[in-house]
Amino acid sequence: MRKAGFRFTTDVPDFINSNMLTDNVIVPESQHTAQASLAALKEGVKEEVKLGQLTFLAEKRGADYTIWPTVCPHEGAKMRKDKICEKGAIHCHWHGRAFPSVTLSQSGRTTFKYIDLTIRLNGDVLAVEMPRQKKWDEPHIAPSVPIDPSQELSGASF
């Protein structure tokens, strides 16, 4: 995934991010909206759909589309359609996390959040606006301020 531009919050490990089961995947930045047509999907068949650097599983069910992620947002493990349980969740084989499917349709829900992205259904086209560089991604350098010894805390005990 790193070769494709993905990063992880655990690239700079610390006690907290190394010991929490949180979403660590950072999607590569881009200047475009990725789109994929779902028109060719066969009824009841789970197929891979590529949106930019991401791949999802999609299944047509009448006028609805059921969508599953194929990249675990925790550490980027590839999730496969043979790991979907009877209740419809897809399971990560690395840490056992389960992610429910999302059903999208023009007459109902048309968007869902995945990692830090919004995935949108418009007709039979699935689209995601790929992330752009955020302010918090930029290096932050605090201004150098001289310390005035006369303003030290007096009487402080540690």
- Determine the pLDDT at residue 117: 86
CA pair distance 22, 12, nearest whole angstrom: 15
- In terms of C-beta distances under 8 Å and separation of at least 24 residues, what long-range contacts does 85-90 make, across chains too? 90/57
| 66 assigned to some structural domain | yes
Domain-embedded: residue 81 = yes
Q: Tell me the C-alpha distance between 15 and 93, whole Å.
A: 24
pLDDT tens figures, 72-94: 988 889 998 888 887 889 999 99
Q: Does 105 map to a domain?
A: yes
In a domain, 109, yes or no: yes
Asked whether residue 3 is domain-assigned, the answer is no
CA neighbor of 26 nearest in space, from 76, 68, 69:
76
Domain that residue 116 falls in: 29-133
Residue 57 lies in a domain: yes
Asked, for residue 155, whether it belongs to a domain, the answer is: no
Q: What mean pLDDT do residues 36-42 have? A: 95
Gap between the Cα atoms of 5 and 106, Å rounded: 33
pLDDT confidence bin for 21, thresholds 50/70/90: confident
Mean pLDDT for the chain? 81
Best CA proximity match to 91, nearest among 153, 82, 32, 133? 82
119 belongs to a structural domain: yes
DSSP string of 52-73? TTEEEEEEEETTEEEEEESB-T
For the chain, the domain total comes to 1
CATH number of the CATH domain containing 45: 2.102.10
- Res. 8: pLDDT tops 90: no
Q: What is the pLDDT of residue 136?
A: 45
Choose the weakest-confidence range: 21-25, 26-30, 116-120, 142-146.
142-146
